[in-house]
Structure 1
Amino acid sequence: MRRARLAARCTAGALAIGVATSLLLAATPPASAQSTVDDGADLASRFTFAVLPDTQFYSRYSAEQFQPRYGTDPFATQTQWIADNADALRIPFTAHIGDVVDRASVEAEWQAADNAMKNLEAAGASYSILTGNHDVLDSNDALVDTDYDLTAEPFLRWFGTERAAADPSYQGSDPTGFSRYHVFEAEGQEFMVLTLPWRVSDATLAWADSVMAAHPTLPVILTSHEVLNVEADGATPRETAYGLMLWDKLIAGNDQIFLTFNGHFHGASRLTKINDFGHEVHEVLIDYQMAYEGGNGYLGLLEFDLTNGQINAQTASPWVVSKPQETLASYDQPFLEGAQQQYSIDIDFAERFAGFNPTFGEGTTPDEHSLTQRARDILLDGFEGPDPISTELPGDERDFVEAEGTVAHWRFNGLDGVVDADTVIEDVAGDNDLRRVDPASTDAVGAEWGDVTVESTDVHGFSSDGAAVCFADSSATRYSYLSTAPDAVVNDVDLSDGYTIETFVKLDADWNAAQNGWSKALVRTGNRSWTEMPPSRWDYTASPTALGISNLREFQYSSLSADAAKGDRVNWSGEIMTGSWSHVAIVNDPETQTTTMYVDGAPVLRNAVDTVGMTWNEGMPWILGADWVDDAARNGWHGCIGETRIIDRATTPADWLTQRADLSGLQISSAPSGVLPAGTESVTFSGTGLPGADVVVATSESASEVVAAAVASTTTAAATTAAVVDPDGRWTITMTGLSAGSYDAQVTQSLGARASDPVTAQFSITAVVEPTPTPIPTAPGEGGGSGSDSGNGSAGTAEGALPATGLDQGVWMSLLALGGALLAVGATIAVRARRRMRV
């Protein structure tokens, strides 16, 4: 059986990658055939609860992309795998947590969802399903479930209560039909799953209260599309106003609710809260729609261990392991193993439920080994996957990959406060600096200098720049922007042979479609009507190339290829969360004639084809922070923009700003070695390394006793010396103030907090030995002495042996030779002196 490859990686702790979901993939360890959850050799009462997070893109692109490529889609693969393994993994229930489809008005998407859920129904596998914001015709926050026209809602037509009633776990619904409750049995115990729709009414909350009151002994798992959000680091939980409303009005006052699941927000997180009864409630977010292929088939598998009091969770993808080997990309990992993707929750079920169900026990059949490990074994059987994408947090602002072909790279570190007329945003790759355009010289309404500031407290975790420019109070009419100079070289750069555009962007938390929809972050200004582009209804007088956000919070990249006559080519992302950073890379590849958008490392599903290069209008600048239509700026970016780079070729993720500089090339070409002469006080190291990196030589010196009479004690010391690698990649370090002893030198190069593995060098310095005074030889009968060894310090030393002083034999031999020479000279002088005295 082939096993999944093991590959080491370092993580961001998070993202990052505040990272969106695909940065979570980049920031988690690779799958291993060995479970990191204790498999519990003892038998226990166990079952698995399955969770299906947002499937909207699986439904949307089933017929268009997945079926032609694979013959199926991730949604159908997930449900078929659950059906096939329900017995082996003891799965009594599966919960879908909303956003079943992407566009509620499109029948084909509901058809794809219908086909997927039929797999569970055909196997007799119980499940619940609920509405997310994409599953209702109008998801306006001002509306609640009782405001909808129930006869018009597609969800109720495709997944209405009549269909739900065919499931034996189904127990009832609220008057709208959106909210339902199910009861399933596992290991001799019963649990309730309570589902709530997108934007619940007070009437429905009252219904939910009544359902629990009618079943007062059942532990309740609450599922809703929104309860918990996630911070920009991709791991830390963030509470929402809607989630807090559910807590205050429903969860905190119902001790039966011990666990919640939701999707909607891109990523994975958990939060444990204490309810009104002093008991823990575990809130869990799981949503991977912004990952590769719209989520790459990841689902939640939660093993309930009733005997040992644990819920063991893992995030797995039946879709990844089902794909043909030749189609696998680095994103295709069968398991995600970050702290919020594989974890254990300690819960003494009997104690936790004692307040409403004092008879709840440990289950009736303690006969099962780890179901978590069994799920891993099933998924990994025969699977050989690719190595995952690996990245690290930057050590400092220098820690990024210098990309060949960079024509402009704008960075903000070193700046602070308001961006005014004197502020220069440096192009670190050339002479294409950005400056703020005076608000008074534009058509902006109410814009002020103070609207644009450089911030360094909240940036994308994988940007080494550590700063960003933020645009406040922006709208269609109030805007500010940064621009290259009229004569900047980048204005007329020819990108006909392909290109890469990278940037880091964030939408403000108060972003709204009415004020900020269709705004732009980065634009190559101009007018499409000046090109060979055929007249069109939309955007005919817009700029040739622009990256922005739609009114549905989707990244949109719109560009004319080098052959403008082919018309507009557009890339679209999925829904982007406000208040969270994203890394966006746009890669135009002439070989494939495609333009691919990557969000936090993962390619989006809707990419442009039949496109090579870029059309531009001569002399027109690049701008950050606003759109450019009808020969003027408009639609300001409401949020922040981080470092931004333009490269004149197609690149791969290894070249991007989310990757780290290569510190592995440190070499020592010259270093001290062996035994150095006595009195040596300085030594020189030299070699090659990464230009701009810090090189440090650290030594630990141990001066051993040379001879008892010459060295009174053993001393230790340490020395550290640093240098910066020259632009040509060379470095030299001279260490001074050295003394006798043995040295173990550790040479490393670093960029701030991130350092290379050390390269070592060893040497020693001979000690200066003062000769021991010796008696002057006398003629027979002169003076005392019988020629014995007493008092000469050599007693107890065998003939020919060297004293155990810690010095190597070569040093001892040198010292002995020196000592012998000194003794001979002393003896000669003494004899001559006696002869003179006799005369």
Structure 2
Amino acid sequence: MHFDPPTVARPRSHRLRSLQRGTVATLGAAATLLSLAALPALPAAAAAPEPAAEGDAARFTLAVLPDTQFYSRYANDQFAPRYGTNPFAVQTEWLATHRDDLNIPFVAHLGDVVDRVNTASEWMAADAAMSSLEAADLPYSVLAGNHDVRNSSDDWFDTDYTLDEEPYLEWFGTDRAEGQSTYGGSDPTGFNQYHVFEAAGEEFLVLALSWRSSDATLDWANEVIAENPTLPVILTTHSLLNIEADAVTPKEEEYGLRLWDQLIRDNDQIFLTFNGHFHGSTQLTKTNAYGHPVTEVLMDYQMAYDGGNGYLGLLEFDLTNNLMTMQTASPWVTWKPEESLTSYDQPFLEQPNQQYTIDIDFAERFAGFAPDWAAGAADQPSLVQKARDILLDGFDGPDPIALEQPGSRDDFVAAEGTVAHWRFGDEPGVVAEGQVFEDIAGDADLTRVSLEDSGSTTAQLDDVTVTDDANPFSADGGGVCFTDSDQRDSRFSYLTSPADVPATTNTLENGYTIETFLKMDESWSAEANGWSKAIVRSGNRSELPGMPWSQWDYTASPAALGISNLREFQWTEVPTETTKGDRTAWSGEIMVDRWMHVAIVGDPDTSTSTMYVDGAPVLRNATDTLGQSINAGSPWIFGADWVDDSARNGWNGCIGETRVIDHATGPDEWLTARPDLSGLTTTAPSGTLPAGTEVDSIEGSGYPGATVSLTGDLEGSTVVDDDGAWGIPLATTVSAPDRYSFAVQQGFGTRLSGPIDGAFRIAAAATPGTPGDPDDGTPGDGSGGGTGGGAGDSGDDTDTAADGSPDGDLAFTGSTIGSGLIIGAIVLFLLGAAAVVAARVRRARTSVGSAD
């Protein structure tokens, strides 16, 4: 259902005056928006989780707002020009509008309210959004994330701040919290607060702890719980539970374990926690000191399209039926103008940890501290279903994008126009000086530069290794890792391509796609690795004819992909029209120790270069650009920057397979896509074949490079040719009178199409003067299951058609057969009963490892 955009409220005057007095300064370099699909890809649409019990129950909805930093940052310069408002404003307006429909007693914000702590406009956007809840008297808690404080170092705690210099406290301090009807109190710093809300006949306490709670704050939190000894507690904080690189498995962090040890474990009242900060969604149930479960939930969608695409959590508490049901939904997606919707715009996220139900016997779980706890009146229908009905009312969105993991190293989509394709997953181990990594599409092989020639006097041989750790959507299954790189002592190593091959001389003026897989090492730091580069088209842009002077990177390479000091991916290029100068695209903050897929797409139709991180476009991209200027004789560099005509500032992490294509492409052609296996066909014979027929092969068409397997009475395998044709010679020619059944599948390793089932029978030679006997076998119908397909016998039980003529479902296959079959085929043709299976043939590849 669409509703009018919310009116943006003006900031409160005392806050505005404080900003004008200079309380908030301006940051220099800062993070921008990362908008990848939540991890790892948007799912196919799925049905809502079914409530375990029907009918009315004691139900309410707790709304959860994960990191809103990019909504605040880009409210005015990106979202408002495109849509007229921003996701943060739409989220809170929607919650306020539907608080009664969904019985929402409380909203919990998980921190990172803004992206740049010292930027006034971001606080103003956040203030306007949260004011919608206040105007509707919908209580909420809020807390500071690492982006909301002036020093977010891990060794700083909330008691280390100079409180009157913290913008967060100017905008969301104690004075504002006191306006909430649920407010219970704050700690002495004002960064931490607690609330008590009532719903479905019972009370719950929400304890909101900001970034890096000190020992004093944790003592305060323990006191709050002790002073409310009968209340179930929901702990909200910014950083607690992390997520593994598979985007599913929970991962515990040192600081999260600190909270567990000093607060959660020994307080039986804490039964549920929420945090943001780490990109993705997961959950972990632990057992506390009382032997009771505590569910920890991570929710952070800033990596999704549009900086989170407005996704929030709607957690239904069903106190009657002892259930908690999570639904990840986006009012922003359903609010957007229809013409603006893309495949990334899905109203619900429904992968694991995004939509689920938790069984919890509330009375039993709370018995140790609230023995008289009881659910209230059963007067609410399914709120999960109601939320879906509200959001989907009148919404007709596009189909989502889904990804599938590769089944083998060959399971990737070959692309026409591939300029270079580097892979590293052959043999794990230390990379020797001079070791070569093949360009499987051309002649731009990469070579490790020797320690002597690298320019680094501190580099070691084992600083470069090949690992079998890889992004799960890379078919290569490995990467090259650069360890211990540190710009403070000039330690770095790198790989280089030849300087005079087509891959180095191509200016990509007709567009391009450069994609790679990157991971920063967990030891990454801004001091050692800020502004380092992973992939560089080396050279010196100051020497390009017409290059205008620039304060930044004037002697850097013409094009490079790297990471800023704030852990943002940065793509920089000088277009072929050099006088336009540097063009850049930026992501948001990237997590360390996690593989990311990055694609840079230069589109000549729009004169833009767009960065996609894990499939979703970022908000800040390069405009008014086309192709890349280059310095003649300058190679590609992997693993280090190239500035002032020499290497420096090495990449501290891994680089996976990398490909360059000479035109703009979309996700269906990227390395994260899989070949379509549904096009398998076979021209195998079917039905009853004349006596004396010889069949010595089974043929058909499929996906180039896929392996086709033949099983059943006939066996064999082959690889589909570049032109899409395949043929499997039989070990022994089939000619004996009998019935033969088989199945055909194509695939890449463990990823297979559905089988095509087929059968045929070779007739026995008839005794002169004796009519043929009916076939007592039943041929298969030849239709394939799964994603395969095929055609075969009509499935009747006899050798004859309805009019008494010989069964007419033989398909001519091109197999080598005897003269009897040729005569039989001619007869069948004259009878008009031949059946031919259509084949879909793909165009031939134009280069090694690529195809149309």
TM range (shorter): 0.7 to 0.9
Counterpart of 1:64 in 2: which secondary structure? helix
Please say if residues 499 and 588 of structure 1, whose CA atoms lie closer than 8 Å, have aligned partners that are also in contact: yes
Deviation, 1:64, is 0.6
Deviations 1:506-543 (A, max 9, x none): 00111111111111000000001101221122111100
Deviations 1:191-226 (A, max 9, x none): 000011101100000000000000000000000000
The match for 2:655 is 641
Counterpart of 2:760 in 1: which secondary structure? strand
Please say if residues 30 and 336 of structure 1, whose CA atoms lie closer than 8 Å, have aligned partners that are also in contact: no
The match for 2:444 is 432
Of the three residues 473, 481, 484, the one matched with 1:470 is 481
Counterpart of 2:596 in 1: which secondary structure? strand
Q: Which has the larger radius of gyration?
A: 1
Take 1:568 and 1:471, find their aligned partners in 2: how far apart are those partners?
A: 27
Check if 1:331 corresponds to 2:344.
Answer: yes
Q: Residue 163 of structure 1 aligns to which amino acid in structure 2?
A: R
Deviations 1:91-113 (A, max 9, x none): 00000000000000000000000
The match for 1:59 is 72
Matches within 5 A, 1:209-228: 209-228=222-241
Deviation, 1:418, is 1.5
Q: Which stretch shows the higher mean deviation, 653-662 or 76-85?
A: 653-662
Check if 1:619 corresponds to 2:614.
Answer: no
The match for 2:720 is 725
Counterpart of 2:420 in 1: which secondary structure? strand
Please say if residues 775 and 799 of structure 2, whose CA atoms lie closer than 8 Å, have aligned partners that are also in contact: no
Please say if residues 766 and 811 of structure 1, whose CA atoms lie closer than 8 Å, have aligned partners that are also in contact: no
Deviation, 1:451, is 1.1
Take 2:533 and 2:612, find their aligned partners in 1: how far apart are those partners?
A: 17
Deviation, 1:36, is 2.7
RMSD of aligned Cα (Å): 2.2
Of the three residues 278, 284, 294, the one matched with 1:265 is 278
Take 2:724 and 2:694, find their aligned partners in 1: how far apart are those partners?
A: 27
Deviations 1:129-167 (A, max 9, x none): 000000001111111000000000000000110111011
Of the three residues 554, 563, 575, the one matched with 1:561 is 575
Take 2:674 and 2:799, find their aligned partners in 1: how far apart are those partners?
A: 46
In 2 relative to 1, CA 383–756 (structure 1 residues): closer, same or farther, beyond 3 Å? same
Check if 1:605 corresponds to 2:616.
Answer: no
In 2 relative to 1, CA 694–806 (structure 1 residues): closer, same or farther, beyond 3 Å? closer
Deviations 1:274-321 (A, max 9, x none): 000000000000001011000000000000000110100010000000
Q: Residue 445 of structure 1 aligns to which amino acid in structure 2?
A: T
Take 1:55 and 1:721, find their aligned partners in 2: how far apart are those partners?
A: 56
Check if 1:461 corresponds to 2:475.
Answer: no
The match for 1:576 is 590
Deviation, 1:25, is 5.3
Deviation, 1:682, is 4.5
In 2 relative to 1, CA 395–174 (structure 1 residues): closer, same or farther, beyond 3 Å? same
Take 1:544 and 1:203, find their aligned partners in 2: how far apart are those partners?
A: 51
Take 1:378 and 1:502, find their aligned partners in 2: how far apart are those partners?
A: 39
Matches within 5 A, 1:214-613: 214-361=227-374, 363-456=375-468, 458-476=469-487, 477-531=490-544, 532-613=546-627
Please say if residues 37 and 303 of structure 2, whose CA atoms lie closer than 8 Å, have aligned partners that are also in contact: no
Take 1:207 and 1:479, find their aligned partners in 2: how far apart are those partners?
A: 47
Please say if residues 35 and 613 of structure 2, whose CA atoms lie closer than 8 Å, have aligned partners that are also in contact: no
Please say if residues 433 and 451 of structure 2, whose CA atoms lie closer than 8 Å, have aligned partners that are also in contact: no
Deviation, 1:448, is 1.7
Please say if residues 233 and 461 of structure 1, whose CA atoms lie closer than 8 Å, have aligned partners that are also in contact: yes
Deviations 1:493-518 (A, max 9, x none): 12122211100000011111111111
Identical amino acids, percent of aligned pairs? 59
Please say if residues 774 and 799 of structure 2, whose CA atoms lie closer than 8 Å, have aligned partners that are also in contact: no
In 2 relative to 1, CA 257–21 (structure 1 residues): closer, same or farther, beyond 3 Å? farther
In 2 relative to 1, CA 638–768 (structure 1 residues): closer, same or farther, beyond 3 Å? same
The match for 1:764 is 761
Deviations 1:562-614 (A, max 9, x none): 11111111111000000101000001111111111000001111111111111
TM-score (norm 2): 0.85
Check if 1:752 corresponds to 2:764.
Answer: no
The match for 1:650 is 664
Q: Residue 417 of structure 1 aligns to which amino acid in structure 2?
A: G
In 2 relative to 1, CA 422–439 (structure 1 residues): closer, same or farther, beyond 3 Å? closer
Please say if residues 413 and 669 of structure 2, whose CA atoms lie closer than 8 Å, have aligned partners that are also in contact: yes
Please say if residues 48 and 92 of structure 1, whose CA atoms lie closer than 8 Å, have aligned partners that are also in contact: yes
In 2 relative to 1, CA 588–446 (structure 1 residues): closer, same or farther, beyond 3 Å? same
Of the three residues 211, 232, 240, the one matched with 1:198 is 211
Take 2:357 and 2:686, find their aligned partners in 1: how far apart are those partners?
A: 53
Task: Count residues in correspondence.
Answer: 749
Take 1:284 and 1:243, find their aligned partners in 2: how far apart are those partners?
A: 12
Take 1:291 and 1:125, find their aligned partners in 2: how far apart are those partners?
A: 27
Take 2:774 and 2:195, find their aligned partners in 1: how far apart are those partners?
A: 86
The match for 1:101 is 114
Counterpart of 1:24 in 2: which secondary structure? coil
Please say if residues 680 and 701 of structure 2, whose CA atoms lie closer than 8 Å, have aligned partners that are also in contact: yes
Counterpart of 1:764 in 2: which secondary structure? strand
Counterpart of 1:636 in 2: which secondary structure? coil
Deviation, 1:680, is 6.1
Counterpart of 2:504 in 1: which secondary structure? helix
Take 2:152 and 2:773, find their aligned partners in 1: how far apart are those partners?
A: 89
Take 1:341 and 1:604, find their aligned partners in 2: how far apart are those partners?
A: 22
Take 2:773 and 2:560, find their aligned partners in 1: how far apart are those partners?
A: 80
Take 1:451 and 1:750, find their aligned partners in 2: how far apart are those partners?
A: 37
Take 1:173 and 1:149, find their aligned partners in 2: how far apart are those partners?
A: 17
Take 1:28 and 1:143, find their aligned partners in 2: how far apart are those partners?
A: 37
Of the three residues 645, 659, 666, the one matched with 1:631 is 645
Q: Residue 396 of structure 2 aligns to which amino acid in structure 1?
A: E
Please say if residues 39 and 280 of structure 2, whose CA atoms lie closer than 8 Å, have aligned partners that are also in contact: no
Q: Residue 494 of structure 1 aligns to which amino acid in structure 2?
A: T
Please say if residues 573 and 606 of structure 1, whose CA atoms lie closer than 8 Å, have aligned partners that are also in contact: yes
Check if 1:659 corresponds to 2:673.
Answer: yes
Counterpart of 2:36 in 1: which secondary structure? helix
Please say if residues 158 and 212 of structure 2, whose CA atoms lie closer than 8 Å, have aligned partners that are also in contact: yes
In 2 relative to 1, CA 801–662 (structure 1 residues): closer, same or farther, beyond 3 Å? closer
Q: Which stretch shows the higher mean deviation, 490-499 or 750-759?
A: 750-759
Take 2:385 and 2:522, find their aligned partners in 1: how far apart are those partners?
A: 41
Deviation, 1:769, is 9.6
Please say if residues 242 and 250 of structure 2, whose CA atoms lie closer than 8 Å, have aligned partners that are also in contact: yes
In 2 relative to 1, CA 814–139 (structure 1 residues): closer, same or farther, beyond 3 Å? closer
Q: Residue 463 of structure 1 aligns to which amino acid in structure 2?
A: S
Deviation, 1:649, is 1.1
Deviations 1:676-696 (A, max 9, x none): 455767532122222221111
Deviation, 1:422, is 4.7
In 2 relative to 1, CA 809–339 (structure 1 residues): closer, same or farther, beyond 3 Å? closer
Question: Unaligned stretches of 5+ in structure 2?
Answer: 3-33, 779-796, 807-852
In 2 relative to 1, CA 79–506 (structure 1 residues): closer, same or farther, beyond 3 Å? same
Take 2:465 and 2:209, find their aligned partners in 1: how far apart are those partners?
A: 42
The match for 2:828 is none
